[in-house]
Amino acid sequence: MATAAVPAAEGAPKKKKGKRGLVMILLALILAGAGVGGGIFIASSGMLGGKKAEEPHKDLPKLLPKGSKPKAAEGEGGHGGGSSAEGPKYESSYFQIEKDFTSNLKDSVHLIQVGLAVSTPYDEKVIDHLKAHELAVRSAVLMTLSDTDEEQIFTADGKKDLQRRLVNAINGVLKEKEGFGGVANVYFTNFIVQ
């Protein structure tokens, strides 16, 4: 009987070695797969190599240096061009939003109706973004107008503050949707309080 127990005891360690080997092989395959997957992720994200790392900034709007726009695009009267030493360093592009905005004023029975145009020192991408997200921009403008006090809109400082808040609202939408704002100023093309 003693001889029968000895072969059984010898067989048990062999069985454990087989399981251990299988576990080691599986772990090696999992680690190799994770390494390959991680390498593919790093390579595709642009963390390695110079070419991919530049791509996220490739689509950002570019500043337009003064004098870079053709004279015909600068408008009549020569207000958009020239290389004055004391003037701005960058061209301004303008975009008028077609429909006026009408909103109730905050805690008031009065309405405000404004027409808006925006300016940007960046290339046409900012204006393209404005056009692409017109509905979201309109909503942000209306929310800003409805959060405006009646007393504020009757002073020059109040109107300037409203312009600043509208710039922030529009840029907020563009940053959310495109990752970049780019609107430098908002201009009133129509301003009526009823």
The pLDDT confidence band at residue 95, using thresholds 50, 70 and 90, is very high
Average confidence score pLDDT of the chain? 81
Contact between 154 and 161 (Cβ < 8 Å):
no
Question: pLDDT tens, 160-175?
Answer: 999 999 999 999 999 9
User: What does each C-alpha distance from 88 to 84, 85, 148, 186 come to in angstroms?
Assistant: 8, 8, 31, 17
Compute the 3-state secondary structure of the chain and give helix, strand, coil in percent, each to the nearest 5. 55, 15, 30
Residues with Cβ within 8 Å of residue 11, at least 6 apart in sequence: none
User: What does each C-alpha distance from 30 to 26, 33, 73, 118 come to in angstroms?
Assistant: 6, 5, 61, 55
Q: Which of 72, 165, 174, 75 is nearest to 125 (CA)?
A: 174
Residue 153 has pLDDT above 70, yes or no: yes
Give mean pLDDT, residues 140-158. 95
Give mean pLDDT, residues 138-165. 95
Of the candidate ranges 34-38, 67-71, 106-110, the one whose mean pLDDT is the lowest = 67-71
121/182 Cα distance (integer angstroms): 8
Residue 67 has pLDDT above 80, yes or no: no
